[in-house]
Chain A
Amino acid sequence: QKEVEQDPGPLSVPEGAIVSLNCTYSNSAFQYFMWYRQYSRKGPELLMYTYSSGNKEDGRFTAQVDKSSKYISLFIRDSQPSDSATYLCAMRGSSSNDYKLSFGAGTTVTVRA
């Protein structure tokens, strides 16, 4: 079983739709959860960063963490063509010596104008 599972898609939605992305994981020690966006021919850029369970909202983006289900989600409201990218989830434990991030394989999203 992979440590982090993420549906690779591709996911295609019309402009203005809500995009829903998710990851499941197996390691109950994970405490920090991240979503990265990666445009073609670019490196990943940090979108959202959350600790433990709960919701976090930033503009059109909402990140949710459900540690009891080992499930995290990213929602994009009022999606735009500029949101077309690959979205990567990532997570790690809470130890100060824990440098290793575990990544999902990424979901490719296309928002159609």
Chain B
Amino acid sequence: ETGVTQTPRHLVMGMTNKKSLKCEQHLGHNAMYWYKQSAKKPLELMFVYSLEERVENNSVPSRFSPECPNSSHLFLHLHTLQPEDSALYLCASSRTNSPLHFGNGTRLTVT
């Protein structure tokens, strides 16, 4: 059982839908991350929150909107997505300068 829990595990949405991905970490870490994983490509960092403050926003389109209400929870709000946004979305957490611990991801399909 991972210390980082992501829900839902699978999500299919149309291009006009609004949905949210949820992440919760039980490790006492102070930083949380969203990554996008597409086939045959390196993981792409999307957002980083440290102590609930966004410290990295990696030129991500505005149709992706993160929210970090506290150090244990992270959301990714999705709106008007494109088919090329279909991917595995991974949440991770860490202490400062320590390795990342990943959740099992949400497999997103945009139709």
* Nearest-CB residue, chain A, relative to B56: A99
* Residues of chain A lying within 8 A (CB to CB) of residue B100: 46, 101
- Give Cα distance in the complex from A100 to B57, angstroms: 11
- Give Cα distance in the complex from A49 to B104, angstroms: 20
- Give Cα distance in the complex from A28 to B58, angstroms: 22
Contact between chains at B42 and A44 (CB < 8 Å)? no
- Give Cα distance in the complex from A71 to B7, angstroms: 37
Q: Is B75 an interface position by the 8 A CB rule?
A: no
Which bracket fits the contact residues of A? Answer: 20 to 34
* Residues 5-32 of A at the B interface (beta carbon under 8 Å): 8, 32
Which bracket fits the contact residues of B? Answer: 20 to 34
Q: Is A4 an interface position by the 8 A CB rule?
A: yes
Min CB gap B20→A, angstroms: 19
Q: Is A102 an interface position by the 8 A CB rule?
A: yes
Additional A-B contacts beyond A43-B92, A96-B96, A102-B42 (6; CB < 8 A) = A41-B107, A44-B43, A46-B100, A100-B45, A101-B43, A105-B40
| A residues adjacent to B (C-beta < 8 A) | 2, 4, 8, 32, 34, 36, 41-46, 49, 88, 90, 96-97, 99-106
